[in-house]
Chain A
Amino acid sequence: MLVGLVLLALVLLTVSFRSPTSGALHSAQGWGAAALRPFQVAAERVARPFGDAYDWAAGLASAKSENEKLRKQLRDATATATANADARQQLAELKRLMHYEGLKSFPNDYRAVNTTVISFPGTFAKQVTIAAGSDDGIALNTPVVTADGLIGHVTNVFPKTAQVTLLTDPSSSVPAIDVTHGVTGLIQRGPQGTFILNRVPKDAVVEKGDLIVTRGTVDRRYPDYYPRGIQVGTVLSASPSDIATFLTVQVTPFAQFDSLDAVAALVPAKRK
Chain B
Amino acid sequence: MSAVDGLKAAALLFVAAILQLSIFSQARVLGGEPDLLLVTLVAVALLRGSLFGAGGGFFGGLILDTGTLSKLGLSSLVLTVAGYWIGRYGETTGRDRRHAPFLSVATITALYSFGVLVVHFVLGEPAPAGAVFRGLLPSIVLNLILTAPTYWLVRRLLRPLDRGDYATEVQLLG
Contacts and interface: CB of A to CB of B under 8 A. Distances in A.
Contacts of B125: 124
B55 A5 contact: yes
A51 B77 contact: no
Interface in A1-45: 1-2, 5-6, 8-17, 20, 25, 29, 32-33, 36, 39-40, 43-44
A250 interface: no
A98 interface: no
A171 B128 CA distance: 13
Contacts of B101: none
B145 interface: no
Given A43-B18, A119-B25, A124-B120, A129 B67 contact: yes
Nearest to A25: B72
Contacts, number: 123
A1 B76 CA distance: 14
Given A2-B54, A33-B66, A13 B73 contact: yes
Interface in A51-86: 51
B73 A9 contact: yes
Interface residues of A, number: 45
Interface string B10-48: 000000001101110110100101000000000000000
B66 to A, nearest CB: 4
A191 B126 CA distance: 16
* Most A Cβ at <10 Å: residue of B51, B63, B70, B126: B70
A214 interface: no
B54 A40 contact: no
Interface string B103-137: 00000000000001100100101111001100100
Contacts of B33: 122-123
A145 B117 CA distance: 30
Nearest to A40: B22
Contacts of A161: 69
B69 A120 contact: no
A158 interface: yes
A125 interface: yes
A9 B67 contact: no
B102 interface: no
B131 to A, nearest CB: 5
A86 to B, nearest CB: 43
Given A2-B50, A5-B55, A44-B23, A11 B73 contact: yes
Nearest to A130: B69
* Most A Cβ at <10 Å: residue of B50, B67, B74: B67
B22 A5 contact: no
Given A5-B80, A29-B69, A39-B18, A123 B55 contact: no
A162 B132 CA distance: 26
Given A1-B51, A6-B80, A40-B22, A123 B72 contact: no
Contacts of A15: 72
Given A9-B58, A36-B63, A118-B22, A2 B84 contact: yes
A172 B69 CA distance: 18
B81 interface: yes
* Most B Cβ at <10 Å: residue of A9, A16, A32, A122: A9
A198 interface: no
Interface in B119-174: 120, 123, 125-128, 131-132, 135
17 contacts: A5-B57, A5-B76, A6-B77, A9-B76, A12-B76, A13-B123, A25-B72, A33-B67, A118-B67, A119-B22, A119-B67, A124-B116, A124-B126, A125-B68, A129-B67, A163-B69, A259-B26
Interface of A: 1-2, 5-6, 8-17, 20, 25, 29, 32-33, 36, 39-40, 43-44, 47, 51, 118-120, 122-125, 127, 129, 156, 158, 161-163, 169-171, 258-259
* Nearest 6 pairs of A and B residues by beta carbon: A12-B73, A13-B73, A43-B22, A9-B77, A32-B66, A163-B69
